[in-house]
Chains A and B, each alone.
Chain A
Amino acid sequence: DVKVTQSSRYLVKRTGEKVFLECVQDMDHENMFWYRQDPGLGLRLIYFSYDVKMKEKGDIPEGYSVSREKKERFSLILESASTNQTSMYLCASSLLGGQTNTEAFFGQGTRLTVV
């Protein structure tokens, strides 16, 4: 059974803290993605990675960074958490070859609250 696992389901952090969200996939996928999901806005891409140590900015990268040191692990970092980063964060992975014909597998999501 294929799996994308996010380290936490719920997180509460204080404004200004550095926050790490971890994602691990066991499918040997090349592509990994971090999305942010807010009501009425759908899924918005923060960053994605198509290979180890490679990353590309998505639509809303400001205030975030990522790290991919190993193929199976993709971390999202909030350098200094702010209340407007309170959201649901979803990680996904897919095979190389782009998203034209490959499905993405999603993790369960991390609901982050910044107070």
Chain B
Amino acid sequence: QQPVQSPQAVILREGEDAVINCSSSKALYSVHWYRQKHGEAPVFLMILLKGGEQKGHEKISASFNEKKQQSSLYLTASQLSYSGTYFCGILRGDSNYQLIWGAGTKLIIKP
């Protein structure tokens, strides 16, 4: 039931683009994206709701493909500050409260 994130890790040079995927075997109602820097608390990036709407946050945007049961996070012209582990969370179909989290994608940005 846990969403599958890919890739597990990615190393980029500053300025390069990255895509992180989050796939579910069950129908998606919403997808939440968070970033956690080493030794810090996870921080909210965005929520995407059913309907395929694409959202943006600085140079980070995301899409929600209901048909594919997948969300993708796009990091454009990555900055050093983007380094961290990115988690997606999907709402459990039988709950209004519980998110099920992916294992995370570790992003390393090198100068």
Tell me the chain A residues, 19-77 only, with Cβ under 8 Å from chain B: 31, 35, 40-45, 48, 50, 56, 58-59
Q: Are A100 and B44 in contact (CB under 8 A)?
A: no
Number of interface residues, chain A, beta carbon within 8 A: 26
A81 touches B (CB below 8 Å): no
User: A109–B36 Cα gap in the complex (Å)?
Assistant: 11
Interface stretch, picked from B10-18, B62-70, B76-84, B94-102, is: B94-102
Q: Are B87 and A31 in contact (CB under 8 A)?
A: no
Please judge, given known A-B contacts A90-B42, A106-B42, whether A100 and B2 are in contact too, CB under 8 Å. Answer: no
Interface residues on B, range: 20 to 34
Please judge, given known A-B contacts A90-B42, A99-B32, A108-B41, whether A44 and B101 are in contact too, CB under 8 Å. Answer: yes
User: A40–B106 Cα gap in the complex (Å)?
Assistant: 10
Please judge, given known A-B contacts A48-B97, A107-B41, whether A100 and B103 are in contact too, CB under 8 Å. Answer: no
Minimum CB–CB distance for A60 against chain B, Å: 12
Minimum CB–CB distance for B103 against chain A, Å: 4
Q: Are A45 and B103 in contact (CB under 8 A)?
A: no
Tell me the chain B residues, 40-87 only, with Cβ under 8 Å from chain A: 40-44, 47, 49, 87
Q: Are B29 and A42 in contact (CB under 8 A)?
A: no
Number of inter-chain CB pairs below 8 Å = 63
Q: Are B97 and A101 in contact (CB under 8 A)?
A: no
Please judge, given known A-B contacts A42-B2, A42-B87, whether A99 and B97 are in contact too, CB under 8 Å. Answer: yes
> Hey, which bits of chain A sit against chain B, CB under 8 A?
4, 31, 35, 40-45, 48, 50, 56, 58-59, 90, 98-101, 103-109
> Hey, which bits of chain B sit against chain A, CB under 8 A?
2, 29-30, 32, 34, 40-44, 47, 49, 87, 89, 91, 95-104
Identify 29 residue pairs between A and B in the complex whose beta-carbon atoms are under 8 Å apart, listed by A's number.
A4-B41, A31-B97, A40-B103, A41-B103, A42-B2, A42-B87, A42-B101, A42-B103, A42-B104, A43-B89, A45-B99, A45-B100, A48-B97, A48-B98, A56-B97, A98-B91, A98-B96, A99-B32, A99-B91, A99-B97, A99-B98, A100-B49, A101-B30, A101-B47, A104-B44, A104-B99, A105-B44, A106-B43, A108-B40
